[in-house]
């Protein structure tokens, strides 16, 4: 296995695209299959220890697809997803409808829309990690907590990885326990290359976001929560326009910044 991609903060969109296009030169099918088998075996062991109901987080992003492959091999069948429908990419939502695993439980945050953004402008194209994390709280993390409140699973499984900068506690199997949740990440030490290889060799389809400008860097998530380039709104509106122009047109009906950006380019 060849590893050339460093941390998510260090690699460029072009770096990942080059590896993805030639992934078989970095990870063999046998290496990918072994990794799946080992992660699935560990998952079965952890699930047996936890007992009761188990679920896993799924977003359609590359990590969650790799996790899905492991979950299917381990026999875990309850995926959950958190969405912000009013601010998601339409192409992504269409892809979710076509490719979400059977039985996926959706938690839609309908309170967050363009009018909410107008009242909370600091979260539009967030300038800091702290502001950016708000989108996780509004979507993914909200779904996790809602599922816990409604179904009381004994274990929630995630696709978090140290290579993506996620913290994994130094416990047996990296299990993390809080009052509300017990969580576990079976692909926690996988490289970026291995994740891509598992998606590739498993024949899974990636959502359209990865084919858009800076898609490998930003991944899935609401368009309003993306951080692009230098973080300026001018660059971010331009990127949004390049991906899905209608999202900017819709935003211009409520957000002055979108209207000004369109007007400055004669698109109003």
What CATH number is attached to the domain comprising 83?
A: 3.40.50.620
Give tens-digit pLDDT for 22-69.
999 999 999 999 999 999 999 999 999 998 899 999 999 999 999 999
The predicted pLDDT at position 268 comes to 67
Confidence of residue 229 (pLDDT cuts 50, 70, 90): confident
Average pLDDT of the residues in 123-137: 93
- 162 φ/ψ angles, rounded to the nearest 5 degrees: -65, -30
Confidence of residue 181 (pLDDT cuts 50, 70, 90): confident
Rounded-to-integer distance, Cα 96 and Cα 214, Å: 20
The predicted pLDDT at position 23 comes to 98
267 falls within a domain: no
263 falls within a domain: no
122 falls within a domain: no
Helix (H) or strand (E) holding 43: helix 29-50
Q: Using CB atoms within 10 Å of the CB of residue 108, give its burial: 0 to 12 exposed, 13 to 18 middle, 19+ buried.
A: middle
The residues pairing with 83 across neighbouring beta strands, listed in sequence order, are 108
Rounded-to-integer distance, Cα 161 and Cα 155, Å: 18
Rounded-to-integer distance, Cα 37 and Cα 34, Å: 5
* CA atoms within 13 A of residue 184's CA, in its CB half-sphere: 28
Average pLDDT of the residues in 189-208: 98
What are the angstrom distances between the C-alpha of 102 and each of 80, 105, 106, 155, 161? 11, 9, 12, 20, 25
185 falls within a domain: yes
* CB-based contacts of 51, cutoff 8 Å, min separation 6: 154
Q: What percent of the chain has pLDDT over 90?
A: 90
Residue 6 has pLDDT above 70, yes or no: yes
CB 79 within 8 A of CB 104: yes
Residue 180 has pLDDT above 80, yes or no: no
Average pLDDT of the residues in 131-154: 93
Average pLDDT of the residues in 206-225: 96
Of residues 242 and 51, more confidence is placed in: 242
Please give the mean pLDDT across all residues of the chain. Answer: 95
Confidence of residue 216 (pLDDT cuts 50, 70, 90): very high
Token reading at 187? 């692909």
Which residues span the domain enclosing 166? 13-111+128-221
Alpha helices per DSSP H over 58-128: 62-74, 90-99, 114-119
181 falls within a domain: yes
Query: DSSP readout, 121-167?
Result: GGGSS-SSHHHHHHHHHHTHHHHHHHHHHHH--SEEE----GGGT--
Residue 191 has pLDDT above 70, yes or no: yes
Confidence of residue 83 (pLDDT cuts 50, 70, 90): very high
107 falls within a domain: yes
The predicted pLDDT at position 8 comes to 83
Per the structure, the count of domains in the chain is 1
């Amino acid at each position: 296995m060849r590893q050339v991609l460093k941390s998510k903060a260090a690699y460029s969109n072009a770096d990942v695209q080059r590896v993805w296009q030639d992934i078989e030169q970095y990870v063999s099918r046998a290496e990918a299959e072994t990794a799946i088998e080992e992660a699935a075996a560990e998952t079965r062991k952890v699930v047996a220890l936890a007992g009761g109901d188990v679920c896993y987080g799924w977003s359609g992003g590359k990590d969650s697809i790799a996790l899905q492959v492991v979950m299917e091999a381990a026999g875990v069948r309850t995926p959950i997803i958190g969405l912000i429908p009013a601010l998601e990419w339409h192409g992504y939502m269409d892809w979710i409808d076509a490719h979400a695993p059977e039985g996926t439980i959706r938690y839609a945050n309908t309170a967050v829309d363009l009018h909410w953004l107008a009242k909370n402008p600091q979260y539009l194209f967030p300038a800091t990690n702290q502001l950016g994390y708000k989108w996780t709280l509004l979507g993914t993390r909200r779904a996790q907590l809602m599922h816990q409140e409604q179904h009381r699973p004994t274990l929630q499984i995630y696709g978090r990885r140290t290579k993506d900068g996620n913290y994994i506690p130094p416990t047996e199997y990296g299990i993390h326990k809080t009052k509300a949740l017990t969580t576990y990440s079976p692909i926690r030490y996988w490289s970026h290359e291995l994740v891509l290889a598992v998606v590739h060799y498993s024949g899974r389809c990636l959502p359209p976001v990865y084919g858009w400008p800076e898609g490998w860097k930003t991944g899935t998530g609401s368009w309003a929560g993306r951080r692009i380039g230098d973080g300026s709104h001018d660059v971010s509106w331009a990127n949004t326009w390049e991906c899905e122009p209608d999202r900017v047109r819709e935003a211009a009906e409520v957000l002055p910044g979108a209207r000004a950006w369109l007007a400055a380019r004669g698109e109003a």
